[in-house]
Structure 1
C-alpha cells in the first residue's frame, strides 16, 4: 500500500517586497488547508474528495485569487474557472465563466460525476449549477474593495495586473532597479507577476492520485478569456502515476501543456516525480513564460517547481514531512 501525500498552492510569481503580514496571512491559510487535507487523508478519504475539500476552503477565503476575492474582468465582473481530475480512470470535470457559483471546484466535480460532459462554460455552466442545486450567491459576494481599487489602477495603466495584493508603489519595475525595463505579457505591460491561482494535489493510501485547480483569472482580463486552470492537461492533470496542478502565466502553461507533460515524461522517459517537474519547468516554458506547479506521485511522493521569484505552497507526506513556504 502506498503512502499518502498532499500539496497545495496559492499562486506563483510573488514580489520579494510583499509585506510580511501578507506573507504570514497567506502561509496561515495554506497551513490550515494543508491540515484539513492531512486529516482527511488520515481518515482514509479518497484523493478526489480531498482535493475538492481543500480547494473549496481556498475558494472561500479571499486571500487568493479564486472564489471569493476573484480577479475582476475589464467590465468589473467575475468569470471564475475550475477543474478537477481523478487519476483513477482519468475522469475529469471543468467549468469556465461562472459568476454566481460559490465554489466553482464543486461544480466542476458535478460536471464530472453528474453530466455526460467534461467541460461546461458560461450560461450553460450556470444553468447546470442551478439544476444541481449548488450554493449560489450574488455577484457582489466575490467583489472586494481591494480588487475594485486594483482594477481601477489596471485600467489607468492600460494593463493586465497579475498581482492585486501587492502595494503598487514602485511595482512598475517589479521591485527591480529603476532602470529595468517593464515586464510584458503578450505585448501588454504588467506591474507585478503573481496570478495567485489555487490548487491541490493528493494521493491517498490506495495510491490514487487527484488534482484540482481554481482561479478568477487575470485582473482587467478581456471578457471571455479562458486560462489554463480549467484546461485538462494544461493547468490540471491526474493519471495512474501522478497528479499535477499548475499556476502562473496561463497562456504559457497552455502552450506547454505543462501538467500533462509531467505525467508524460514519467510514463515515457521513466523519470522520477521531481525530475519530471524539473524538466518540465526548465524546458517547456518557452518565450520566457513564468509558472509553477505542485505534484504528487502514486508512490506517495510530493514535488514542486517554479521559475518565478516565489510560489505560495505547502506540502506534506504520510512519512511525517510537512512544509509551508513562499520562496525558493
Structure 2
C-alpha cells in the first residue's frame, strides 16, 4: 500500500493445498510424504516473498502436470488458472495435452496475450509460439493412473486422480458395490474415499505490500469425458484474487462451479464486511449444496484461512513472522 511516496510494508503470507477429500485409512508414511511436499512448496514460496518478490511471481512454484487424471480415452487434458489481485488480471488454460507446466502457460496468457482464457488447440498453439516446454502426452501418464482408469471404467463412474497404489485401495468389487449404494462409506464423486484422490493443487499469496494472487492447476477427473472443463481454470469458481483476498479451491468441480466459491468469498468480504475466515466458513456451509470441496485463502491484510466439508484437505501455510504449518485433517 502506498501513502504518498512511502511504501508501507505488511506481513506476507502464503498458503498451498494439494486437494480435498482424503481417505481416512491413508497410510501414515504417505501422509508424511504429502506433508513434506507441502513444506517444500511453502519453503520455495517463502524464500521468494522474504526476498521481496511480488505475490504474482510466487504462485507458479506449485504446479500439477505428470500423473494427471486420465480421460475416458486414456489421455491427459490439463487445466490451470492464475489471477493477479491488484488489477484483477487473469490467465487460464484448458485441454492441454503437451505443455509440461500448465500454470506457466496460464501466466503467459495473462501477460503476453490480449485474452484471459485459451483452450485445447488454441492453447497448444500459443504454447509453441511462446516457446514453453512441451512433451509427448505419454509423459504425463503413470502406471498407477492407468490402473485407476481401469477401476473407474469397471465401476462405470468417474473419480479423481489418486496417488496411492492400487494395492492400497479397496477391491474393485467393493468399489463397484459402493458406487451403487454407498456401502456405508463416505463418498466423493460416486466412489468411496478409499479410491478417491486429490490431484488439484493451488496456491494463494499476499506479499509485503498487501498484493494478493492465486493460482490453481489440475488434471481433472479420472475417466472424465474428453473436453470436460472443471472449476480450476474458471475465474471466480476455482480461482479468484482481488484487493480483498485470494482464493484457490479444490474438490468436486461441478459443485464449485455452481457455487462460484472463490468469488463468493471475496464478495462477502467486500459487500458484507465479513472477515476472511467468516467468508470462507459461509461459502463452505451455504454454497456447496450436496457437493464436497475445500479452499484456501489469504487476505490483503495478511490473514490466512481455510475450510472444507470432507474428511480432509492437504494444506499448509507460512507467514513473515516465521510461522509454518501443514495439515490434512480437520
Task: State TM-score, norm by structure 2.
Answer: 0.91
Using the alignment, how far apart are the partners of 1:145 and 1:123 within structure 2? 27
* Cα distance in 2 for residues equivalent to 1:149 and 1:90: 41
1:308 to 306, 310, 322: 310
Give the whole-Å Cα distance in 2 for the aligned partners of 1:181 and 1:87: 40
Deviations 1:148-191 (A, max 9, x none): 111111111112122523432166388xxx95167364xxx323
Counterpart check, 1:33 vs 2:30: no
Task: Show the counterpart of 2:89.
Answer: 91
Deviations 1:58-87 (A, max 9, x none): x3xxxxxx3011010000000000000000
- In structure 1, the residue matched to 2:192 is 191
Do structure 1's residue 229 and structure 2's residue 236 form an aligned pair?
Answer: no
Asked if structure 2 preserves the Cα contact closer than 8 Å seen for 1:34 and 1:315, the reply is: yes
Q: Is the 8 A contact 2:15 2:298 kept in 1?
A: yes
Residue 75 of structure 2 is matched in structure 1 by: 77
Aligned residues: CA RMSD: 1.7
From 140, 156, 160, the counterpart of 2:138 = 140
The 2-side partners of 1:300 and 1:16 are apart by 32
Q: In the aligned structure 1, how far is the partner of 2:277 from the partner of 2:139? A: 39
- 1:100 alignment partner in structure 2: 98
TM-score (norm 1): 0.92
CA distance in 2, matches of 1:20, 1:181: 20
Q: Report the counterpart of residue 281 of structure 2 in structure 1.
A: 278
Q: Note the residue ranges of structure 2 that are not aligned, 5 or more in a row.
A: 1-8
Q: Secondary structure of 1:314's match?
A: strand
Q: Provide the secondary structure at the position in 2 that maps to 1:93.
A: strand
Corresponding residue for residue 169 of structure 1 = 170
**Is 1:44 paired with 2:46?**
no
Q: How many residue pairs end up in the alignment?
A: 312
Match for residue 4 of structure 2? none
Q: How far apart, in 2, do the equivalents of 1:200 and 1:184 lie?
A: 23
Helix, strand or coil for the counterpart of 1:33? helix
Measure, in 1, the Cα distance between the counterparts of 2:100 and 2:185: 39
- Helix, strand or coil for the counterpart of 1:108? helix
